[in-house]
Amino acid sequence: MVTARMGIYLLALSPLHVGGDEGRFGYEETIVVRRTYRNYVPYVPGSTVKGVLRTAACYVAKLVGATCCWAKEPTEIVDRHSKMGMPCDVCRIWGYPGHRGMLSVTDFVLVDGIPTTMLRLTHIEIDDYTGRAKEGALYVMDYVPAGTLFRGMLELEMERPVDLTLVLSSMYILEYVGMGRGGIVRAYLESLEFRDIGKKKLEVKDENDLRKALTQAYGSVSEVELTVKLYRELHLPPEPELDLLKELSAPRVWRW
């Protein structure tokens, strides 16, 4: 089985809410959190990134020749997979109850050398019954500003070439899915390498390397050219300047 390892940048296109380690219901419910044992340095949990990529993958799956069952409850997932005759591609890659999945995602940490100034904004709670502001219900929330850059890693065990196509596609439309409470982020591909192609490790440096690697692993398949196009759109040189990323922040349009 071929393994693809990707270095990913996440650029905040809007302020991102900073929360505690756990939400009100005992689980992480915010996108950017602070670890008390790391001097309150913000980071994006890998579980959050994996979740929003999964949502994005469902939206784009049909366009790239993949499948998504759109189910959330375990019993509903089993029922839809049974009707399909096999697990959908999104569940197979991202996992579902009782099945690990093929995609692993690390936490995303601040890129060294890019300063971050925390924002603190005051909000007022709205009464769900009256639709009006609650008297005295002011609260303060912390944010990291737009322009903050995070970096993390994705590792994908590929059963079929469409697996990589689907993951790259979900990265491409990530900004339209959103993260947390109104947060908007854009994904960029810093690096890509394959393992176990001819029992070797292959670092992809350009489109020709990617085309050669996929053809060597899977033969001439239709997904190769679409994957190469996505690589071209997402890829950035190592250690890009933040100004360069901002210049590239015009809305992406799906063209394939």
**C-alpha to C-alpha distance for 100 and 96, rounded to whole angstroms:** 7
Query: pLDDT tens digits for 35-58?
Result: 654 567 888 999 999 999 999 999
User: CA–CA separation, 16 vs 239, rounded Å?
Assistant: 22
- The secondary element (H helix, E strand) that includes residue 134 is strand 133-144
What is the pLDDT, as a whole number, of residue 24? Answer: 38
What local confidence, expressed as pLDDT, does residue 23 receive?
43
**Encoded tokens for 128:** 């769900």
Closest of 208, 178, 214, 169 to residue 68, by C-alpha: 169
pLDDT one-digit tens code per residue, 91-144: 999 999 989 999 999 999 988 666 667 777 777 778 777 878 777 777 777 788
Check whether 27 has a pLDDT greater than 80: no
Mean pLDDT value of segment 18-27: 49
> What pLDDT is stored for residue 29 in this prediction?
44
> Among residues 32, 83, 52, which one has the least CA distance to residue 177?
52
Residues with Cβ within 8 Å of 29's Cβ and at least 6 positions away in sequence, in order, are 19, 23
- Name which of 36-50, 80-94, 142-156 the model is least confident about: 36-50
State residue 76's pLDDT score: 95
What is residue 237's predicted lDDT score, i.e. its pLDDT? 64
The reported pLDDT for the residue numbered 25 is: 33
Query: Among the ranges 6-20, 22-36, 41-55, 213-227, which has the highest mean pLDDT value?
Result: 41-55
Q: Is 225 helix (H, G, I), strand (E, B) or coil?
A: helix
Q: Which of 166-170, 184-188, 193-197 has the lowest mean pLDDT?
A: 193-197
Computed over every residue of the chain, the mean pLDDT equals: 84
Q: Pick the residue with more confidence: 204 or 27?
A: 204
